[in-house]
A and B are shown apart, each in its own frame.
Chain A
């Protein structure tokens, strides 16, 4: 196990913590935890890509970062207008 995978395990534990936060509390506190989770996921994919030496995981990290941003904006618009 190299240092990239050790850091990835740390990020995974923090992602689990953020996931638990996304299941508790008020509505927008959960949204903030979800946004934090998507940021952690993108960085976790970068660490895993480097740790395992797989180039394709870097593409996944880029796509995750962009798509999670767009998805969260749609979700916020939905919450703001209808819920």
Chain B
């Protein structure tokens, strides 16, 4: 087994572990806003590990660049999605995203 194959295997284990952490966190944590935090590990760590494994295997050819593109999209847009979800959940529950609507015009 070559060093490259070992590196790919380690990165894939890291990606799977990050995905397991995310799914377990979403399953076990109470409340929407607590669960939202667990979207990050799979998008950032998992995405980086999968893209890194592809780059180790393929270098920077079309496959490697597309894998990095998927990682960039997932990691870059995940905070926006988490914010939008938290905001929507709060508006759905309270009618407004602000803490006290009377204090603002």
* Residue positions of A touching B, CB distance < 8 A: 3-4, 6-7, 10-11, 14, 17-18, 21, 26-29, 31-33, 35-36, 39-40, 42-43, 46-47, 49-50, 55, 58-59, 61-62, 65-66, 69, 72-73, 76-77, 79-80, 83
Contact A62 B15 (CB under 8 A): no
Cα-based distance from A17 to B74 in the complex (angstroms): 20
Cα-based distance from A65 to B80 in the complex (angstroms): 14
Contacts of A62 in B (CB 8 A): 66, 69-70, 73
Which chain B residue has the least Cβ–Cβ distance from A80? Answer: B88
Partner of A32, one of B8, B35, B80: B35
Q: Distance in Å from the Cβ of A71 to the closest Cβ of chain B?
A: 11
Contact B63 A28 (CB under 8 A): no
Q: List 16 A-B contacts (CB under 8 A).
A: A3-B8, A11-B16, A14-B20, A18-B26, A32-B85, A36-B22, A36-B39, A39-B39, A39-B42, A43-B42, A43-B70, A58-B62, A58-B67, A62-B73, A73-B84, A76-B85
Q: Using known A-B contacts A28-B89, A39-B42, A43-B47, determine if residue A14 contacts B19 with beta carbons closer than 8 Å.
A: yes
Contacts of A31 in B (CB 8 A): 32, 85, 88-89
Q: How many A-B residue pairs have CB under 8 A?
A: 132
* Residue positions of B touching A, CB distance < 8 A: 5, 8-9, 12-13, 15-16, 19-20, 22-23, 26-27, 32, 35-36, 38-39, 42-43, 46-47, 50-51, 53-54, 57-58, 62-63, 66-67, 69-70, 73-74, 77-78, 80-81, 84-85, 87-89, 91-92
- Overall SS of chain B's interface: helix
Cα-based distance from A83 to B93 in the complex (angstroms): 11
Contact A42 B87 (CB under 8 A): no
Contact A43 B50 (CB under 8 A): yes
Q: Using known A-B contacts A61-B70, A80-B88, determine if residue A47 contacts B39 with beta carbons closer than 8 Å.
A: no
